[in-house]
Chain A
C-alpha cells in the first residue's frame, strides 16, 4: 500500500502532471487507511514537499523537461499539459497559517509569458479582503483606506481604488442618465416603535389580518423577533420605483445592521434597489456622523434625503431635508410633541400630497435640470449641488423678509437658523422696515412691525411659513400661516 511520502517521491521522480497526482491521491484515499502518523507531521510534510517542487520548477531546464515528459507520458490527458504549464508558472505556496512565513508570498499578476521567468509586477494593492490583497493575494495587515463592511464584512478599499471606482461608476451612471440618492430610514421613509411603547389608544395596531384597516395592511409590519413595529410612509413604494429610474439608491441609517437589513427587506423585497448598498451605524467612519466617504459615488452627483441635518456635517450641500414622519405615539413623544399621533387619530399622511410625493417632484426637477440638453458644459463637469442650490433659491425668490419677536434681541440676527433658511430659499432678509419688504415674519400680531405689515398690506406670516416652504420646496400660501395676538401683552 502507498503512503503519502512514496506518492510524492514517485511524483517528483516521474514529473507527472498535477492532475495525475490528484488521481493517484484519490485512489489511494479510497483504497488505503488514512495517514496514520500524527496530523502535524503530515501537514508539514506536504508543505515541505510542495515548496521543494515549486523551487525545482523555477529552474527553466526542468520546466522544459517537465513539459515534454507530461506531453509524452499521458496520452489520454492531453489538456492537462496546459494546466501543468500554468501551475509551473507560479510558485505554489502554503504559508497559510496565522503565523506569517516571511518573504514567500508571490507578488504581482501572473505574467502570460512563456513561463520561463516570473515578471514581478508591482501590485497597487487596491483593496484588502480578510487580510489579503484582492488582486495579488499577498497578506496585508495595514488599516489604510476605508472599510466597506456593508459590501462584505472583511472588505477594505485603498483610497486610490475608491477614487477609481467612483470615477468609473460615475461615467457609467451618467451614461444611463442617473445620479446617486442616499436615503435615511427613520422618520424619512418609515417610522418604527418598540412594542412596549405602543399606547392603549394604538392598541388596534396589534390586530392581525382583517382586524387591521385596509390602509395599514400593506404598510404596517410587526417584527416580533426585534420586538418592534414599523410603519412605512405613504407613497414609499411608488417613490422608490420612480426614484430608481433617476438614481442609484443607497440606504444610510444610524440604526444597527440587523435593523437596517430588515427594513431594506420591507422596502425592497426583491432586492432590486439596495443590493450591497445598505449602510448602517457600524459603517460610519466617525461616531454620530454620516459621511459620503463610505458611498461609492462621486460627491458631485449625490443627493441625500434625511430628516436630520446635524449628522451630515460635511455634506449639507447635498442634503434635502425631509419633514419628519411621526406615525407612532412614541415617536411624537420622543420629539416633545404633546399632540395625538397619526396612529391615535387613525389617520395618516396624504399619499399623493405628502412629503414623499412632493420631494419626488423636486427630485424630478433637479434631475431634469442636471441632464438638461441645453446646458453647454459637459456631463462630468456638472455638480448636482449647484443644481440643488439653484432650485432652492427659486422657492422664495423675490421675497424680502423682516422678523418680529422671532429672533432673540441679544443674538446676531443673520445667524438665526430661520434667517439662514430663508436666504437659502432665495429670500433676502433685513432688520429694518422699508417699502421693499414683502413679508413680516412674526410670533405676535401686536408688535409694531406686525401692525405695520397689516397697514401697508404686506404679508404677515408666522415662522412656520418658512419651514413649510423649505420642506415642500414651494412658497406656501401666506394665508395658511396667520399670526395670532400674543396672550400676555
Chain B
C-alpha cells in the first residue's frame, strides 16, 4: 500500500556546496540518497514530493561539514500482511514462483498455488491447469494476497498466496490489458 508521509533526515553537506544553490544542492542530495531506499518502518521510499522544512545547519567539530535536519514529504510503499496486490511473475520453478510488485519480491510457494495447477518444465516453465485454460508463466500478471512480510536491512520480502477466491492470473504475457 502507498502512503504519503513526512520523514526527517540529517543531511551532511560538504563546504564546497555552500553558496547560492545550497538549498538546491541539499534537495538533490536528499533525493539521490533517499529515493529508492528502504527502511523497516516505512517501507520503500518511492519518491520525494516536497520539502517541508530545512532546519538550521550545525557545523561539525573537526571537519567543515554541516548537518542540516531536513523534513520532507514522500510517497512510500509498504506491503502489509493481508493486503491484495497485483504483481508480475519473474521466475517460475518447481518450488513455486516469484513475482514483483514494484520494488517488492513476493514468493508464492507451490503449497499456495491451487491444487489443480501443475508445474510444467520446458522452454517456458509454467503452472497450468489440467485443461490448459489457465497458465502462469514469466511476465504473467497475477493478483495475490500477501500472507507474511519480513524486513531485512534494506529489503522487504513477502510470502503470497493465490489459493483464495478471486486470486490468480489477471492477464497473460503480451496480452492487451
B98 partner residues in chain A, CB cutoff 8 A: 152
A90 partner residues in chain B, CB cutoff 8 A: 82
CB contacts under 8 Å to B, within A245-293, are: 248, 270, 272, 275-276
Q: Is A48 an interface residue (CB 8 A)?
A: no
Residue among A35, A110, A276 making CB contact with B5, cutoff 8 Å: A35
Choose the segment among B17-25, B29-37, B55-63, B146-154 that binds chain A (4+ C-beta atoms closer than 8 Å): B146-154
B52 partner residues in chain A, CB cutoff 8 A: 36
B125 partner residues in chain A, CB cutoff 8 A: 275-276
Q: Is A86 an interface residue (CB 8 A)?
A: yes
B148–A154 CB distance below 8 A? no
A130 partner residues in chain B, CB cutoff 8 A: 107, 150, 152, 157, 159
B5–A132 CB distance below 8 A? no
A87 to B145, CA, bound (A): 10
A139–B150 CB distance below 8 A? yes
B165–A86 CB distance below 8 A? yes
Per-residue CB proximity of B47-84 to A under 8 Å, as 1/0? 00100100000000000000000000100000011101
A137 to B159, CA, bound (A): 6
Per-residue CB proximity of A113-155 to B under 8 Å, as 1/0? 0000000000000110111111111110000000010011011
Per-residue CB proximity of B129-157 to A under 8 Å, as 1/0? 00000000000000000011111100001
Q: Is A93 an interface residue (CB 8 A)?
A: yes
Choose the segment among A94-102, A323-331, A361-369 that binds chain B (4+ C-beta atoms closer than 8 Å): A94-102
A96–B149 CB distance below 8 A? yes
Inter-chain residue pair count (beta carbon < 8 A)? 121
A272–B123 CB distance below 8 A? yes
CB contacts under 8 Å to A, within B1-51, are: 1-8, 40-42, 49
A residues contacting the other copy or chain, number (CB 8 A): 51
Q: Is B122 an interface residue (CB 8 A)?
A: yes
A22 partner residues in chain B, CB cutoff 8 A: 1
Q: Is A345 an interface residue (CB 8 A)?
A: no
Residue among B2, B107, B152, B164 making CB contact with A152, cutoff 8 Å: B107
Q: Is A83 an interface residue (CB 8 A)?
A: yes
Q: Is B93 an interface residue (CB 8 A)?
A: yes
B148–A133 CB distance below 8 A? yes
A425 to B136, CA, bound (A): 48
B35 to chain A, nearest CB (A): 16
Closest to B76 in A: A39
Per-residue CB proximity of A21-48 to B under 8 Å, as 1/0? 0100000010001111011101100000
Q: Is A92 an interface residue (CB 8 A)?
A: yes
B82–A92 CB distance below 8 A? yes
A96–B111 CB distance below 8 A? no
Residue from B8, B41, B147 having most chain A Cβ neighbours under 10 A: B147
Closest to A29 in B: B4
B158 to chain A, nearest CB (A): 8
A88 to B139, CA, bound (A): 31
B101 to chain A, nearest CB (A): 15
B148 partner residues in chain A, CB cutoff 8 A: 132-133, 136-139
Closest to A30 in B: B4
A38 to B93, CA, bound (A): 43
Closest to B120 in A: A172
A154 partner residues in chain B, CB cutoff 8 A: 157
What are 14 A-to-B residue pairs whose CB atoms are below 8 Å?
Answer: A29-B2, A33-B73, A34-B73, A35-B6, A43-B41, A96-B151, A98-B40, A134-B96, A134-B109, A134-B111, A151-B95, A155-B95, A155-B107, A275-B121
For the complex of A and B, 4 pairs with smallest distance between CB atoms = A137-B148, A130-B157, A137-B147, A134-B109
